[in-house]
């Protein structure tokens, strides 16, 4: 993404696979919403939702963020018992819903890219589809 940082300062950047409102774990496999079953897909490779009841599961073990010339990596644990601190958002069962990065950004245009890596099996990559940025 091309972004514009409005002011110099410290920022929290939260990487998620699902919207914050859903609070699904990054590695979860939630039900496909019924309305997507009837959605018209232009190619068969995009029609996963029309033929499956659940979304695809990913085995993410790392979250990676590139922004303003910085490459940041955080491990994604299977779950966290107790306080996740500022590094993660978790469900009541300790499953990771977001990986958070705190960093200084300078005012101006920059590029942001974010993804999850499966380090357990094949090194497959999945996009961090939802990125939330908060100025501290």
pLDDT in tens, 94-110: 999 999 999 999 999 99
Q: Is 51 within the bounds of a domain?
A: no
> What pLDDT sits at residue 66?
98
Please indicate, yes or no, if residue 65 is contained in any of the structural domains.
Answer: yes
Identify whether 20 is part of a domain.
yes
Q: What is the mean pLDDT of residues 23-43?
A: 71
- Is 113 contained in some domain? yes
DSSP-assigned beta bridge partners for residue 89: 98
In a domain, 78, yes or no: yes
The contacts of residue 74 (CB under 8 Å, 6+ apart) are 62, 63, 87, 99, 101
3 state SS for 87-98: CEEECCCCCEEE
Q: What is the largest CA-CA distance in the chain?
A: 47
| Containing structural domain, residue 67 | 2-27+58-135
How far is it, in rounded angstroms, from Cα 75 to Cα 38? 37
Task: Tell whether the model's pLDDT for residue 133 goes beyond 70.
Answer: yes
- The answer to whether position 39 is within a domain reads no
Q: Does 90 map to a domain?
A: yes
Q: How many domains does the chain have?
A: 1
In a domain, 86, yes or no: yes
Report the predicted TM-score, pTM, of the whole model to 2 decimal places: 0.84
Residue 36 φ/ψ, nearest 5 degrees: -75, -15
């Amino acid at each position: 993404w091309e972004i514009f940082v409005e002011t110099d300062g410290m920022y929290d950047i939260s990487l998620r696979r699902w919207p914050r409102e859903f609070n699904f774990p990054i590695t979860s496999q939630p039900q496909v919403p019924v309305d997507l079953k009837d959605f018209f897909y232009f190619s068969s490779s995009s029609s996963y939702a029309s033929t499956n009841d659940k979304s695809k599961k990913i085995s993410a073990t790392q979250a990676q963020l590139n922004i303003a010339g910085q490459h940041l990596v955080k491990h994604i644990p299977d779950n966290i018992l107790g306080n996740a601190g500022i590094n993660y958002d978790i469900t009541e069962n300790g499953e990771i819903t977001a990986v958070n990065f705190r960093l200084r950004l300078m005012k101006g245009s920059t590029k942001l890219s974010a993804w999850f890596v499966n380090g357990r099996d094949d090194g497959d990559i999945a996009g961090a589809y939802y990125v939330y940025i908060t100025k501290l």
